[in-house]
Structure 1
Amino acid sequence: MSHLPPSQAIFSPSVARAAASTAKDWSYIDTWLRSIFANSSSPSSRASRPPPFERNPETLKALLALAAANEAADEHREQLARVEEAALEEARSVEREREERRKRIDALKQKQREGANVEKEEGEEESLDGDILATDLLSALESSLSKDGAAALDAMASMAVELGVAYPTPEILGSKFAELQGRAFELEDGIERVDLLRRYLDRESARAETFLAELQQSNADSSLNAHNDKDSTIGGGSGSGSGSSASIFTLPPTLPKQNLSLQRLIKSTSSHLPDLTHQVHSLEKTVGLPALTVDDVRADEEAYLDLLSRKKDLDTQVRAFAGLPPDIDAARAELEALRAELRHATERRDEDFERLVERESPVKSRRRPRLD
């Protein structure tokens, strides 16, 4: 009942049950905290209890969750400790059995050297010699390794332990190492990108801070200039602030008037908009708009393209008669003159060609007939 004042009486059974449950939870929390801080050097036993102003439902809920998580972690650690202790005891027992078997084999070998009859113990020696032989073989291999080989074996074993590979081979470890190297390169690339973004943000932040400082300085200069102008006007002077230039960040004085005029224009246009819409609808009803479709537009486009191609053909044909006079008779006369000139040029070409052929052709000598 810690959530209620000491002098308050409880008459409701539900409130009494809730108070009892809360008191039980706080008692559990106090016991748990006392067990946690038992070994601490606290001046008094009240140091392990929450202060009165912290004894509320939210703190109780958080402490209960923390106590449950702590107990679960303690149980997990105890289970792990028991498993490790059992594994260690098993390993020790196996080591003790191996040592006993080694001693017995050494004793049997000693008896063989001394010439004793050990025929009955030959089977036991063969059965006991397997694990010892494997252990001795591994020890011999490990001891016969070179320094570089032992370092490579240790590195391979440590890498397998770090990667969590139960049966390591050079191929598996190499693939794992290549995968980790690729992830490392990706992380380095991501770090470079984040660093680039951070530098860009720092640069933009510095520019924004510089701009803000300029704005503040401009406002301060404007206020100072206005105060100086006011003082000079009162004193009858010519204005000592004329030398300082006006701030480029100061709003123009005509901006409020422009804003007001624009607002009035928008309001007047908005008031005329319904009338204009009504006029448009009435015109649509009286005049009527053609019901165009996509097929009509496509047909008109194809007809336009056909006319355009015909126009290009006619332009080509008309271009051949460029330079002729507009009169038909004069054009025919000029055409006949051009044809006569063409015939004359053709005849001259043929005559020149014949003379060229005659000049370039070799002269054939006549052969006299032989007289027998």
Structure 2
Amino acid sequence: MAHRAPHLASQTAIFSPSVARAAASTAKDWAYVDSWLKAKYQTYTPPHAPPSFERNPETLRCLLALASHNEAADEERDQLARIQEAALAEVKTIKAEKELRRRATEEDGQVDGELIVDRVMEALGDGLPREGKTALDAMANMAVELGMAYPTPESLGSKFVGLQGRAFELEQTIERVAMLQRYLDAESEIMDRFVDDVQGDAYRAPEDLAKQNLELQREIKTMSAKIPELKQQVASLQKSVGMPKLTVENVKKDENEYLELLARKKHLDNQLKAFAGLPPDVDAARAVLESLRTQLRKATERRDTVFEGLVERESPVKNRRRRP
């Protein structure tokens, strides 16, 4: 009986429902992988069988993931191919309809404005240089990216400028955030050094630290008690004085008054330049001023005398009197 126990345990493990389900699932996965590999290798020229490899759980997991990604890619490619075929068929249908309408209009001798526009656009597209086609393609791609159904150069430019402004704002925001981050890093480094110093063996707390703490707490309580009184004083001052509101008009008015004062100051400075060099004493300045006035009168009198002499010498009446 003792030698039959392992045999019975192995039979129990083999015929366990959970083990049977796991084995069936593994066999199903390997069948799927084998069929997928066989289908892939059949596409080669010439077709051949997949190579032999070690069958273990790791290999099965990798092959299942590869098959899943491959099928998803194939499905996406097939869907894209169907969309392209449908678009090409639609374009061909539109071209065939336009061609039939063109023939019908030519036979009837009528003029179709839409056909003329299409021909003009085709002629313009064919006549554009390489740079023009590149620019037109760029505008079309930009319109598609921006989701604009009827784009114009003005609308595209406006949208592009708006995006550039938004990008600049984001760059400035990023720069401010980076500056704040650098500031926080610097402050954090300072705090780390302070914590290291405090936690070090060489640090000694001040002896009167408790006393300083109590004094600071008393000052905080005192100032906190004064805050309501200060707020009431500020409110009463605002009511009595009437604090002006800061507006753009007030700022502009103050700026104009400031400019007027500057102009008046320049005018007074120009007037004061005439009195430059005078002594600071009033009496001495008056004496210097009187001396200068006396010199001015003498120079004026001399000028008048010289002028009168020149007039008398060059006068034609005087010359006629001298001739007889």
TM interval, shorter chain, is 0.3 to 0.5
- Rg larger in 1 or in 2? 1
The TM-score with structure 2 as length reference comes to: 0.41
The TM-score with structure 1 as length reference comes to: 0.37
